[in-house]
Structures are given as C-alpha cells and as structure tokens.
Amino acid sequence: MPDLLLELFSEEIPARMQRRAAEDLKKLVTDALVERGFLYEGAKAFATPRRLALHIAGLPVKGQDVREERKGPRVGSPDAAIQGFLKGAGLSSIEQARIESDPKKGEFYVAVIEKPGRSTPDVLAEILPAIIKTFPWPKSMRWGAASREPGSLRWVRPLHSIVCTFGPETEDPEVVRFNVDGIASGDVTKGHRFLAPGEIRVKRFDDYAPALERAKVVIDTDRRKDMILHDARDLAFAQGLELVEDEGLLEEVAGLVEWPVVLMGSFDEAFLDIPPEVIRTTIRANQKCFVLRDPGTGRLANKFILVSNLVASDGGRTIVAGNERVVRARLSDAKFFWETDQKVKLEDRLEKLKSIVFHEKLGTQYERVERIAALAKELAPIVGADPALAERAARLAKADLVTEMVGEFPELQGLMGRYYATLQGEHASVAAAIEEHYKPLGPSDRVPTDPVSVAVALADKIDTLVGFWAIDEKPTGSKDPYALRRAALGVIRLLLENKKNLQLRSVIYNALQKLEAIFVVDPKSLEAAQAKLAEIDDPAEKPDLSYFKTQDLLEFFADRLKVALRDQGARHDLIDAVLSLSGSSDLLMIVRRVEALGRFLDTEDGRNLLAGYRRAANILRIEEKKDGRSYGEAPDLEIVNAQGQIEEKALVVALDGAKREAAAAVEAEDFEGAMRALSRLRQPVDAFFDKVTVNAEDPALRANRLRLLNSIREATRTVADFSRIEG
Amino acid sequence: MTSEPAHMNPARSFQGLILTLQRYWAEQGCVILQPYDMEVGAGTFHPATTLRALGPKSWRAAYVQPSRRPKDGRYGENPNRLQHYYQFQVILKPNPPNLQELYLGSLEAIGIDASVHDIRFVEDDWESPTLGAWGLGWECWCDGMEVSQFTYFQQVAGFECSPVAGELTYGLERLAMYLQGVESIYDLNFNGLEGVEKVTYGDVFLQAEQEYSRHNFEHADTEMLFRHFRDAEAACRRYLEAGEPKAGSNDSRHLMALPAYDQCIKASHMFNLLDARGVISVTERQSYILRVRELAKACGAAWLKTEGGGVAA
C-alpha cells in the first residue's frame, strides 16, 4: 500500500510549539482522510526547528467506488420531468436509464450512477492546502510581498517549501501537486542550514529520513533528546561528574537544533559561592545550558553542558569559548546581585513594596503584606505556630520581590528571601516560611509542615481569595487569571494534610469585613442578596454583604474540596451527602465525616439502614404526594402508646435515643460514634417494616406512622443527607 | 577587504564594524540614512522605520541610531550597561524571501564565520506598547550570545503592516565586544588604531555616561519634563489637526504627519526620563504609556494619508 510523505519547510519554529504542531498536523490530516473514507495503517509526525514532517503509511491508491440507484419518473411522464431526472442523474439520454416496474407505480425509470473512488492524490491535493491555511499555530504571522494582499497565508514563521509525495514502495512515487499562496508542492527539501544547505530530492519517507540524516538533520525530536542526554551524561561521566537532568530544558534544546552537538564549558570556581539554584537558573534561563554536580558531595561543579547545532571545523573551541564568556558575564551579574542584596536587610525593603501594585483595586504589595501579617498572627494559634514568628515571617515574605536577584529571576522568589533571611539571622522557621508560603503550587507540589509556614501559607492564600471575592473577580469557566482555584486547593491541602481544624467561615467573614470599602458587587448577586434580606424580619439577624460573599466563597471551597476528594478517589455522592447538610466550614471535619460515612456504609448495618431509610423515604414520597401534604411533624406519642404495635413503640424509643446520641457525637466530632448510634436503628427499623402496616385503616394512626417514617429520615440527617447517596 | 587598512577591520574597530555593516546593506540596495536628530529609546522610533513600515510602498533602509535609555545608566561603572548606546537598524519592506540569508551574510561580512560559530534563531516576539506595534521573530544567537533582534513587523501604530517589513537590529557595542574579545564596553577599540593613536569607547563616552547618569537619576528637572511632556502631547495633537485634509478640498492628503510624529517621539523620551527619575508611580506608568501610544496611533493614521504612506499625489 502506498505511503504519504509531507514536509513543511519554514524558518525557525519556536521550540515550545514544535511537538504540539507535529501532533496537530498528524491529527488534522488523518482525520480529514478518515472522514473521506480513507483508512491507513500508521502515521507519525516529526518536527525540527525548520520543518514539520508527516508520514502516513498504508493508504489506498484510491477511494471506494460508490454505486447508487436513483428512481426516476414513470415511463411516459411529461418531458420536463424526464429532463430534470436526466440532469440530476448525469445522463445524456433516457436510453441510458433502466426501466423497472412495480405493481403500484407501474413502469418507471431507474438511473444507475457509478461514482468511481477518487484517486488519493486528488483528495490529498484538496485536503492539504486547507489544513495548511488554517493550521492552529498559537501565534502566526504574514510575510513578504504576498502580505500586500488581505488574507495572505499565515504560518508560524515564513513557510518556504512543501514536499508532498505519494506512492507505493516499488515504484517512483508521484508528487501530490497543490499550491498554497504561491508555494507549489514538490519533492525538494534542504538539509542543515550550515552543514548541508544544498537541495535534496526525496522520494518517500524511507529515503527522506536517511537523506536528511546524511544532511545533518535528525527529524525525530525524541531521538535528538536521546542523543543530547547520552552525550551529556557521557561528557559528565568522563569528568567524574553527574548531569543535573532537566526534562523541560532537554525538550527545549532539542527544539533548537537539527543536529545536536554536545559540548562542555567551565566557569571560575569562585562563582560557586552563589547559591546553586541561582547558578542553575542563570545558566538555564539565559543560556539554555545544563549544570553538573559532583556525585559524591551533591554540590554543583564549575562546569556546564551546552548543546550546539554545529559540527564546527575547530572542534567547537570557538563555540565553547563564546558560551563561557556569556556564562561568565551572567554569573558576574548574579554574584553582584547576590552580594548587593545582602547589604540591605529584608525589613528595610518593605517601604519599596509600596510602589508595587498587587492589583489596581486591591492596593500595593505593602498593604497586602500588612493584611497577611495580621491574618498569619491570628491563624498561628489555630495551627500551632508562635504568633510572633508567623507575623515576622509574613512581614518579610514578600521583601525579596524588590531584591535585584528576584528582579532578574522572578522564579527565584521565596527562595532568595529564605537565603537572605538566614544570612541576616532570622529564626529558621521564619526563613523557611518565607520560601514555603507560596506552597503548595498545585496538586502535586509539596505541602509545608512547619506550623509557621502553614500559618503564613494559609494567610497568603486566604488573603488572595478574600481580596478577589471582595472585588468580584472570581474564576469563570476556564478563565482563572489569578490562579484562585489553585489558591483554594492550597488552603484545602494545607488544612487536610496537616490535620488542622479551622472554621473558614469566621476567618473569611472577618477578612471580608475589613475590605468592605472596596467591595464590588455584581448586580445580579446583589438582587439575590436583597431578596434574601427581605425574608428576614429581625434586624439583628440581618446579614451584611460580607455574609453573602462569605457564603459564596465557602461554596467555591466546597466545589474545590469535592474536586480534590474526587481526585483522591472519594465517592462524590458521599461528599454531596455530607456537604449538603453540614453547616460546618471546617474542611477537616467534613472530610472526616465523609470518611466515616463511607466506612459505615461498607458495614452490613450501614447498608441495611440505608435500605430502611430508602424504604421510609419512598413510602413517604408516595403518600405525601397522594395526600398533597407533608408529614414533617413529630409523631404523636399518645397515639403510639394507645394504638401502636410493639415494634412501633420500640422504634420511637430507638429513634429518640439514636438521634440524641448521634447529635451529641457529631457535636463532639466523633463521627464513628454518630454512625454507631445510627447503626442501632437498623434492627428496630427492620422490625417496624416487617410487622407494621404503615397504611393503617385508621387515618390518624396512618398519619402518625407516616410521621414516624419521617423521624427515620430526620435521624439520619444528623450525620448526612442520605438522599444524596447513590448505589 | 584586502585593500582596506587593518584598522578598518570590524573585529578590531568599532567604527570599522559600523562601516562594514553600512557597506553591506548598501550593497543590498538599502538607503543608508544618518541617525534621526532626536532622542529616541530605540532605532525603531526613527520615522524611517515606524512610519515607513506603514503603507504599501516598498522601502529599504539602514542606519545607526544612538538610543537613549535613561534608566540603564550606571554612572559608567557597569561594563555592560549604558544609558546611551548604538543600534544598527535595517528595514526591508516587503521582507525579501531570503532575509535570513542576507542577515547571515552580514555576520559573515563582519567576520563571524558560520563554520566555527554556532548561530541560532531563538524565538523572541517583539512588542512595543508605546508604539502600538508587534511582530514575530527571533533573537539571533552567536555562541550563546544574543547579537541581533530579527522581527517581521505585523502591526505598527495599531495598523496591520501590508506588506510586512523585516527589521533587523544589531546591538553594536555587544557585537563589537564579542568581535574584539573585550569584557568591558569602555575597552572597545573605537578607531582600530594602536598605541597613542588608539581611541577607546571609554575615551569617547565614559564622561558622558557619568554625567548623564547624574542627570537622569538625580538632576533632570522633573517639573520641566512633565511640562514638556504635556506640551509635546498637545503640540502633536495640534499639528495632526492642522495637517488634516480640508473639508471640500480635492487633496485628501495629510500635510503634517512627520512634524506631529516628532512630538510623539519627544513625549516618549520625556516619559523615559521621568521614569528614570522615579517620579511616575506604577499605576501612572501605564497611563503614560497609553498616552504615547495614542499619539503614535494618530501619527500612523496621518502618515497613511500622505504620499509616503501610499496616497497618490
């Protein structure tokens, strides 16, 4: 079966876009083929800085033939009808149509239309230009004389040539001819920009890849990565060193070369006084080079690995010397920053935070630090931290933003603060909290455990959330520009993983109240809030706007908690069952309740109680609907005593006990105890359903029994909303 | 090259580097212009780039542009930073299909041999918020060092470029430092001569760096600068207004685009000086940038109504 080879040759494609572009190309072309009924055996796409390539193996030579019969008018129909039929069926005379007959319709014409499958190259020539013209680059551009015209071709950088061939292995493939904005497809490409700039005529993928390889182009990104990694490790090993591996950097440098040549350079040992993270960041960010370490001590070595795109005629001496020069200049800068920064104490930098706007409506970093410090101090006792240390750490936490080093390398924020704090003799927990207060930065990031870090990390995130809630800048859909979901997840993980109880409600409410002056309220939620306010008579009970915003933010937390628990495999229905009832804003308690509920439902008592609950709820639903009223009142004990059966009486007693016991246990946060109390209901509930007829003939007795069923429902509500439980 | 004296060698002489680039781009058909006679932050501000990038007419030019970045002054104490430095600017509109090859040719002309140097095009998209301009391109690396900026202009002054121009900017001091193998800008050999005849970059500019750093950071008269900013802004608007085609006239051309644009350049420089003096707060900063951008856009719109912008006389 024939193969397709497609290559789009352009000026340098940004490294970060290459892999995705190759995948997009493969998907777009194969989808378009499959949509037209062309199946294939395999497809693989490639990318280098200067080309995207696609190989599709095992395509048919042409599409399937299609045979269609079209019924026409009756024999002897008016001429207009006959002519219309001929035209529609593509026939030139009525003799070409068959005559069939049918008992109802009589004799009528039938045209047999045979559409031979289109040749694959024709279909490709139709599909490919459209894909190229609408290719989903993250950013694209126009260029050259063609850009005088509106609607000229856009590509990531100027597109120069297109190779497109199709054919079986045994014959010379043909060029699939098409033209995109003046670029005609052909079978000629070019090799490495400097090492083999000449033109190369290619036939098919099998000779394309080796021809390029001879022309110093490795088309497969993963192979380039392997080459770099192996050579880098070997070079390091030969020096008794170890490569500090960096997948992101490896991917990037593999996208900057067509022919990787790995070289080693070195720098003055004196630079090793700079923190290793700084050296690594400097060399990585500016030079896209790898650093090396001594496998014995784990310390950085004064060597680096660079990946060039050239087999240089001097063996790479000039390239290494040039890179060493730049690394030297960069490390000199870093050393200068490192030394200068140490001359000013962190607390003396705070004044400068006044000139950094955190958010137009939320004020400067200085104001933010003030808020975080107050909040961290308030939270400290709750998470077991020394309030003075928490406040100190919070106050210094953002000071490194105005150091030279962080100005140059923003990704070192926090870490530099920790270094400088340690150097100026701060308490170890304060120094650690300065670095760790940004954490966790995502679902897999480490959660700090030092109580001071926990206090400041919580304060930082809660302040962010409360602030953006105050000004009504909440995440919507996929838009979350201030990473508020991440902040909420951070709070959740900090509390759960450190097992800290915190009533978020009062913390949030108090923080919001302090921001009332800058509140932004969306008119819709204001309306809803006012409607709710109108329902409340007692002026002392009237909630304020902070109350509504608190509610809203707590709901956001509940959503994030659900997502987080679900990701850990918790049953979403149990989370709903607990969340829908709990007035608690203590996340740890909610999670414990979910866990206890899950364990309870795994026991036989739990399963039976759930079955009993459902039976009660079903009967109630049906009867309440039938009667058009609810049976929400407490059962009349006199009726039970006077007319009730023994099982009924037993249930009343059991319900009363279980409800009180469960409520007390919940109060004491003893969820196991609450479940145990409920589990004692199982036997009396079962007995009740076994022996007692709910729909008694005496209407008063019946009504009272329905109220009893309602009591079962009510009792379970002390721990969870059983109606939310599935399965 | 062989006929030229050794002190003209671009690897030994700063001015030799400039002259070689001028000669090379002159050979490619560029108009070799002289620096614009106003203070600008980058070669792009020269009307030969900003305004000529707009409209349908073909245009090829190259020039050296002294660029002023008041904030980058270091009192002559930093070997890599200057508040006044030279850019070599090339603009080719529309960009020829072989612009990358032409650029590589220019590197060869100044002595960068592609068989021993690792030359790379690394993604770097360009944007000038003050000019309302952006483009896609690269920073060009030679052995890990950025030696030029290569941009395909997509938009200037808020207008789509049609056709697109290719712009090259060489940071001359940095390039010369690499070619000459010196670690400080001030050690650059300016005239390529040796001994008593040798003139260094420091001989020419060190005093200026010290004095202007004092001026930019400590003494620049901020009240005057604020006033000049407002004056330039108002004058720009007035000139634009005055140059507008008259209602009922057959001539639909704008008559004052260039003088108006000068005032936009002036406002931009006043802003840079005020910024260096630290008297513009972060929030105000954005609004000043916007004000300059509005001027740039209005000037671009006016230019498109001139002959240079493609309107028939």
Q: What ranges do the domains of chain A cover? A: 3-61+119-214, 66-115, 221-341, 346-523, 593-724
- Is the model's pLDDT at A417 over the cut of 90? yes
The residue assigned the tokens 């007693």 is A653
Q: Domain for residue B257, yes or no? A: yes
Number of H helices, E strands in chain B: 8, 9
pLDDT averaged over chain A?
91
Per-residue pLDDT of A494-505, as tens digits, reads 999 999 999 999
Last residue of one domain, picked from the residues B196, B215, B234: B215
Q: Per mean pLDDT, which of A131-135, A170-174, A600-604 is the most reliable?
A: A131-135
Q: How many CB atoms lie within 10 A of CB A23?
A: 12
**Which two structure tokens, joined as six digits, stand for A223?**
């192979």
Contacts of A22 (CB under 8 A, 6+ apart): A45, A46, A47, A52, A53, A54, A221
Average pLDDT over residues A324-336: 91
Q: What is the mean pLDDT of residues B166-188?
A: 95
Q: State the residue for tokens 């240079």.
A: B308
Is there a domain that residue B310 lies in? no
**A78 preceded by a cis bond (ω within 30 of 0):** no
Q: Which long-range contacts (CB under 8 A, 24 or more apart) does A415-420 make?
A: A415/A275, A415/A277, A416/A275, A416/A278, A416/A341, A417/A346, A419/A275, A420/A341, A420/A342, A420/A346
Among chain B, residues having any CB pair with chain A shorter than 8 Å are 56, 80, 94-97, 100, 114-123, 125, 135-138, 142-145, 152, 154, 161-164, 166, 178, 183, 281-283
| Termini Cα distance of chain B | 44
Are A147 and B162 within 8 A, CB to CB? yes
CB–CB contacts below 8 A, A to B: 114
**pLDDT (tens digit, 9 = 90+) per residue, A468-517?**
999 998 998 888 888 999 999 999 999 999 999 999 999 999 999 999 88
Task: Tell me the per-residue pLDDT of B251-306, one tens digit each, with 9 for 90 and over.
Answer: 889 999 999 999 999 999 999 999 888 888 766 888 899 999 999 999 999 999 99
B168 and B32 assigned to the same domain: yes
Q: Is the pLDDT of residue A541 over 80?
A: no
pLDDT at A302: 97
CATH topology of domain A593-724: Isoleucyl-tRNA Synthetase; Domain 1 (1.10.730)
Q: Is the pLDDT of residue A534 over 80?
A: no
Residue B1 has pLDDT above 60, yes or no: no
Backbone phi, psi, residue A329, to 5°: -65, -40
Identify all chain A residues contacting B145, using CB atoms and an 8 Å cutoff. Answer: 322, 325-326
Which H or E element spans position A391? Answer: helix A387-396
The CATH class of the A3-61+119-214 domain is alpha beta
Residue A670 has pLDDT above 90, yes or no: no
B60, B184: one domain: yes
| Distance (Å, whole) CA A558 – CA A594 | 13
The residue type found at A237 is F
Interface test mutation site (partner B, options A141, A289, A311, A367, max chain B beta carbons within 10 A): A141
Residue B311 lies in a domain: no
Final residue before a domain boundary, out of B200, B215, B230: B215
DSSP annotation of A694:
S
**pLDDT digits 0-9 by tens, A9-18:** 999 999 999 9
Q: Say which range, B5-9, B227-231, B258-262, has the weakest mean pLDDT.
A: B5-9
Distances (CA, A) of B21 to A178, B114, B170, B188: 40, 17, 10, 17
Evaluate if residue B2 carries a pLDDT over 70: no
- Could you give the percent of chain A with pLDDT greater than 90? 59
Q: Please check the confidence at residue B53 and state whether its pLDDT lies above 70.
A: yes
Tokens of B155: 């938009």
User: Average pLDDT of A202-211?
Assistant: 94
Contact yes or no for A711/A655 (Cβ under 8 A): yes
Q: In the predicted model, what is the mean pLDDT of chain B?
A: 94
Please tell me the distance from the alpha carbon of residue B135 to that of residue A81, in angstroms, as a whole number. Answer: 61
Q: Which of A87, A344, A54 is nearest to A185 (CA)?
A: A54
Residue B94 and residue A144 in contact, taking contact as beta carbons nearer than 8 Å: yes
The fold adopted by the segment(s) A346-523 is Hypothetical protein af1432 (1.10.3210)
Looking at the fold, whether B60 and B198 belong to one and the same domain comes out as yes
> Do the Cβ atoms of A160 and B116 come within 8 Å?
no
Q: What value does the mean pLDDT take over residues B27-39?
A: 97
Segment A414-422 long-range contacts (CB within 8 Å, at least 24 positions apart): A414/A438, A415/A275, A415/A277, A416/A275, A416/A278, A416/A341, A417/A346, A419/A275, A420/A341, A420/A342, A420/A346, A421/A346, A421/A396
- pLDDT the model gives residue A210: 96
What is the reported pLDDT for B76? 93
The region that residue A181 occupies, defined by phi over 0 for left and psi between -120 and 50 for alpha, beta otherwise, is left
pLDDT in tens, A72-91: 888 888 888 888 888 888 88
* Per-residue pLDDT, A629: 87
pLDDT of A342 higher than 80: yes
User: In whole angstroms, what separates CA A409 from the centre of its chain?
Assistant: 26
Distance of CA B284 to the CA centre of its chain: 25
Mean pLDDT of B120-140: 95
For residue range A566-615, list pLDDT tens digits in order.
888 888 888 888 888 767 788 998 898 888 888 988 988 888 888 888 98
CA distance A581 to A517: 33
Closest CB from A160, A310, A329 relative to B118:
A310
pLDDT at A70: 84
Residues of B in contact with A306 (CB under 8 A): 144
Mean pLDDT of A275-301: 94
CA distances from A316 to A261, A653, B117, B140 (A): 9, 91, 8, 19
Q: How far is it, in rounded angstroms, from Cα A365 to Cα A360?
A: 11
Domain membership flag for residue B1: no
| Sign of the CA dihedral with A516 first, then A518, A519, and A523 last | positive
Q: Is residue B269 part of a domain?
A: yes
| A-chain residue closest to B163, CA distance | A148
Section A348-373 average pLDDT: 90
Do B178 and A157 lie within an 8 Å CB cutoff? no
- B270 with B227, same domain: the answer is yes
Report pLDDT for A568.
Answer: 83
Q: What is the pLDDT of residues A625-645, one digit of tens each?
A: 988 888 888 888 888 888 888
Domain boundary among B167, B191, B215: B215
**Domain that residue B111 falls in:** 6-215
Q: Which residue has the higher pLDDT, A93 or B193?
A: B193
**The one-letter amino acid at A417:** G
pLDDT at A537: 67
pLDDT, greater one: B190 or A93: B190
Closest to A157 in 3D by CA, of B141, B131, B124, B143: B124
Question: What pLDDT was estimated at residue A612?
Answer: 85
| CATH classification of the domain holding B269 | 1.20.58.180
The SS3 call for residue B145 is: strand
Give domain status of residue B246, yes or no. yes
Helix (H) or strand (E) holding A263: strand A261-266
- The predicted structure's pLDDT at residue A727: 73
Type of residue at A389: L
- Dmax over CA atoms of chain B, in Å, equals 69
Helix ranges, A644-723 (H): 646-667, 671-679, 682-691, 699-716
| pTM score, whole prediction | 0.80
Domain count, chain B: 2
- Partners of B86 in beta bridges: B66
